[in-house]
């Protein structure tokens, strides 16, 4: 599985390119929190999403990692909902709160 990193400002375009299929989010996409420095959880966590059908993980880079994996997951869920609300991406029905 390949992993690449994108800056926060490119989340919507990366989501549309890799996580959406026919304009709707692939239901197999998984939201993740990855260690900012592999093997060093105290360094913090970065939000990410995995697209199993494309054998791809996209890590989202910001200037500061989140302190916990839970914070990273909460942030990506929040951000995706905002992007959906303003029409930048289309989430699968089960993901919309």
**21-38 pLDDT per residue, tens:** 888 888 899 999 999 999
Total domains present in the chain: 1
Taking CA atoms, 47 is separated from 22, 23, 67, 88, in Å, by 24, 22, 11, 19
- Confidence grade of residue 15 (pLDDT, cut at 50, 70, 90): very high
Q: Does a structural domain hold residue 86?
A: yes
pLDDT at residue 86 in the model:
94
pLDDT at residue 53 in the model:
86
- Confidence grade of residue 93 (pLDDT, cut at 50, 70, 90): low
Q: Does a structural domain hold residue 34?
A: yes
Query: Each residue of 57-73: pLDDT tens digit?
Result: 999 998 899 999 999 99
**Of 47-56, 77-86, 88-97, where does mean pLDDT reach its minimum?**
88-97
pTM for this entry: 0.87
Q: Does a structural domain hold residue 97?
A: no
Q: Does a structural domain hold residue 19?
A: yes
Token output for 76? 């990506």
CB distance 32 to 5 below 8 Å: no
Residue range of the domain that includes 58: 2-92
């Amino acid at each position: 599985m390949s992993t690449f990193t994108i800056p926060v400002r490119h989340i919507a375009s990366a989501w549309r390119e890799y996580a959406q299929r026919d304009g709707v989010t692939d239901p197999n996409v998984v939201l993740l929190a990855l260690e900012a420095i592999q093997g060093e959880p105290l360094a913090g966590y970065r939000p990410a999403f995995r697209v199993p059908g494309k054998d791809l993980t996209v890590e989202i880079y910001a200037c500061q990692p989140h302190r916990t994996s839970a914070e990273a997951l909460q942030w990506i869920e929040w951000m995706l909902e905002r992007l959906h609300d303003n029409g930048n991406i289309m989430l699968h029905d089960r993901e919309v709160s």
